Structure 1
């Protein structure tokens, strides 16, 4: 299984790059935390970055030689999470099981990742939200590109449900599933 870390977002609401941000009280940046969480479950981890943060991410991950860094590829660039998936699958085009994690979940617990890794064709859900950027699915580069070329929309959830046949894996709603979209006052200190 290959781990995918989505780290290429623009972080507009957050105000600074979420992937490379080091939250107060944590021992690493968000992308470093995500890599550490996925490595025990994956043969390889691939970080999907953007042109603005790739050099910082490369420096932050220099101690992780098993991690590959990719960036969006035209004409599929700058379309959100599916752009990241296209970049990863262009590097590894064969049908593959992927374990997907966005950098937005610094509190995600290892036991939750283990549950997701044990459930193919699933995405995390709680009582209030569907967390499509926490998913386990199988796809390949050609399938994804065909989906996008034939009018499949660019929404990750639609692709996971309609093309990868993923089902929700319900986890209890805890702090670990809070998406890091905004910095709190504590984070800005």
Structure 2
């Protein structure tokens, strides 16, 4: 079930590199979030994330873990735009930052990244397009900041330094290291996070 490109409503001059965070252990969710199909959707969360990123990015890296990497590689085997990378041995179980390090290990120099997590199955192309047009930002509603939906610049050395210092919080990295500002958007079901809405997944609007 390889994802297909959709038509983009905008044309970006210099497209960023896409990141899909799909390596979480899904302990609260109870099953692999990346491969799950949730209410009102017909495809796995990871496929939805890739479909949203395809028109907006030059290449997509899926940050996987050792348990789901093979399934993800099979899912996107025919899509040359997508590459699956696995947590590096030195930074396993480091959350989203471990995934980010796995991606930057594939291309160590400074890059422009547009990042989404598979926690957001109802994310809309419109919201992601707005973020793609605003480097150094993350999405934020009046009630919540969404640090896993971010557009930023970084490189391997910076991520490594952050992790080796013992820090793991994505918020700290996005705000203090990547110097991102909030991109304020209205609250909507499109920003439903599966970690915070287990058992009460809304229908997409």
The TM-score, its normalising length taken from structure 2, stands at: 0.86
Aligned to 2:67: 52
- Retained in 2: the 8 A contact 1:152–1:159? no
Aligned to 1:165: 179
* Distance verdict in 2 for CA 1:168–1:152, change over 3 Å: farther
After superposition, where does 1:24-173 map in structure 2 within 5 Å?
24-149=39-164, 151=165, 153-173=167-187
Tell me if 1:22 matches 2:22: no
What is the CA deviation profile of residues 61-82 of structure 1, one whole-angstrom value per residue up to 9, with x for unaligned ones? 2342210000110211111000
Report SS of the residue matched to 2:175.
helix
| Separation in 1, partners of 2:202, 2:140 | 27
- Retained in 1: the 8 A contact 2:18–2:57? yes
91-100 vs 139-148, greater mean Cα deviation: 139-148
| Separation in 2, partners of 1:133, 1:9 | 12
What is the CA deviation profile of residues 112-158 of structure 1, one whole-angstrom value per residue up to 9, with x for unaligned ones? 00100011101111011110000000000011112222x26210110
Report SS of the residue matched to 1:165.
coil
| Separation in 1, partners of 2:94, 2:166 | 13
Report SS of the residue matched to 2:89.
coil
Report SS of the residue matched to 1:82.
helix
CA RMSD of aligned residues (A): 1.6
| Separation in 2, partners of 1:6, 1:145 | 17
What is the CA deviation profile of residues 5-60 of structure 1, one whole-angstrom value per residue up to 9, with x for unaligned ones? 00000111111100001224323110000000001110000000111111111222
How far is 1:186 from its partner? Answer: 8.9
* Structure 1 residues not aligned, in runs of 5+: none
Report SS of the residue matched to 1:75.
helix
| Separation in 1, partners of 2:50, 2:35 | 12
The TM-score, its normalising length taken from structure 1, stands at: 0.93
- Retained in 1: the 8 A contact 2:66–2:86? yes
Report SS of the residue matched to 1:20.
coil
Give the count of matched residue pairs: 186
Aligned with residue 190 of structure 2, among 171, 176, 186: 176
* Structure 2 residues not aligned, in runs of 5+: 1-15
